[in-house]
Amino acid sequence: MKDALVAHAKTLGFDLCRVAKCEAPPHAREFEQWLGEGRAGEMAWLERNKERRVDPQLVLPGAKSVIVLGMNYFQGEENDRREHVSTSSLPRIARYAWGDDYHDLIEKKLHALDIFLRGFCGTQKCYVDTGPMLERDFAAKAGAGWHGKSTMLINKELGTWFFLAEILTTLEFPEDAPQADRCGSCTRCIDACPTAAITAPYKLDSRRCVSYLTIELKGSIPEEFRPLIGDRIYGCDDCLSACPWNRFAKASHETAFAMRDSVTGMSLADFLSLDDERFRALFRKSPIKRIKRRGFLRNVCVALGNTGTMADLPALQKAALDPEPLICEHAHWAIQQIQKRNEKRIPSK
């Protein structure tokens, strides 16, 4: 039955299919301590579901196995338009959000696996990182990879560039062995973090993380972090890109995750002209749509404040009059930053 499961997962496009025993995740206590220290920031949903996250039997009573699935989203170095070049003319977006929303694509594949498992009289719960599970714990337990010092999962064939999904099932499968930690003395991910969010090996303070600040945080970005965000407008790949295991990563066969030409054809200042309708059209079926126009243009203003020139001021001045106060605030900040840089360039008489 397990061989049939793995084969079916492969035909659906999954690059990994491993199994862990359905029991309390190994880092349940550390997760609760992390929450207690307030390191989740405004992600209150983690606190609301904490009991279920540390006890999968509350999610699916009678579950015996957790099927861990992985899907490669790496598009190849030749398609990476932002890895080594940083200018204000192109958007800098985390790789996972370049193309279509992975939730939609993977959920359809999980549904197909659910139907397959029902044929063996199994009852399932399927999740793509939105369910009450410590998914990386189960993934490491199943041998889909190991916990890197950035807290991200690393696989020796895929590197860091893969999505995780899980199926809890009442069917019992032989569990797979975990992989050894292969990070050794390497600290490249820690050194690469622009905001020092990785406070120690295997410890992350979300409140400092650029991905949290540009995606999960709904309000104003603290001014102390704005210069550190640089030109990133949605998420951050720095700790992932720094991992030397990525030298083994191969391009994904899933073209839906490729960067959209409609997005790369726009400059940062161009984004400020988007109204709600154009924003929804541009990011239709994209993960970026979840932060809405207000969050996205907030991020664009910060990026322009860090990398923009005097030529970007007209677009920012218009944004400073936007009906959305969050956009106005960050546009005013960006204008001030550009003007300060320009003043420093003008030699005194």
81 has pLDDT over 70:
no
Residues 6+ apart with CB under 8 A from 281: none
Q: Is residue 143 part of a domain?
A: yes
Residues 32, 159: one domain? yes
Q: Which of 146, 169, 192 is the last residue of a domain?
A: 169
- Which pLDDT belongs to residue 88? 44
Residues 154, 29: one domain? yes
Q: Reduced to 3 states, what is the DSSP secondary structure of residue 157?
A: coil
9 has pLDDT over 70:
yes
Q: Is residue 227 part of a domain?
A: no
Q: Is residue 35 part of a domain?
A: yes
Q: How many domains would you assign to the chain? A: 2
Residues 162, 272: one domain? no
DSSP 59: T
E strands, 177-319, are 198-200, 203-204, 232-234
- Which pLDDT belongs to residue 78? 55
49 has pLDDT over 50:
yes
Strand partners, 159: 155
Q: Is residue 233 part of a domain?
A: no
What pTM did the predictor assign? 0.93
Helix (H) or strand (E) holding 16: strand 16-21
Residues 298, 157: one domain? no
Q: Is residue 229 part of a domain?
A: no
Distance CA(227)–CA(145), nearest Å, equals: 34
Residues 296, 309, 292: CA angle, nearest 5 degrees? 5
Query: What is the arithmetic mean of pLDDT over 85-98?
Result: 73
pLDDT-above-70 percentage for the chain: 95
Q: Which of 114, 147, 169 is the last residue of a domain?
A: 169
Residues 157, 285: one domain? no
Domain span at residue 159? 2-169
Q: Is residue 280 part of a domain?
A: yes
Distance CA(135)–CA(259), nearest Å, equals: 26
- Which pLDDT belongs to residue 80? 54
Active-site positions?
129
Q: What is the pLDDT of residues 228-279, one digit of tens each?
A: 999 999 999 999 999 999 999 999 999 999 988 889 889 999 999 999 999 9
Strand partners, 232: 92
Residues 7, 138: one domain? yes
Residues 148, 26: one domain? yes
Give burial (CB, 10 Å; 0-12/13-18/19+) of 150: buried
Q: What is the pLDDT of residues 284-296, one digit of tens each?
A: 999 999 999 999 9
Residues 157, 289: one domain? no
Residues 271, 157: one domain? no
Q: Which of 169, 202, 224 is the last residue of a domain?
A: 169
Residues 11, 116: one domain? yes
More confident residue, 45 or 8: 8
Distance CA(160)–CA(236), nearest Å, equals: 13
Alpha helical stretches, state H, 22-121 = 28-36, 44-48, 50-53, 102-118
- Lowest average pLDDT, out of 24-38, 89-103, 131-145, 195-209, goes to 89-103
Residues 16, 161: one domain? yes
DSSP string, 224-241: TTHHHHTTEEE---HHHH
Q: Is residue 27 part of a domain?
A: yes
Unique residue bearing structure tokens 């920031």 = 41
E strands, 51-201, are 65-72, 92-93, 124-127, 146-147, 153-154, 162-169, 198-200
Instruction: Please answer whether residues 183 and 155 qualify as being in contact, where contact means their C-beta atoms are separated by less than 8 angstroms.
Output: no
Q: Is residue 209 part of a domain?
A: no
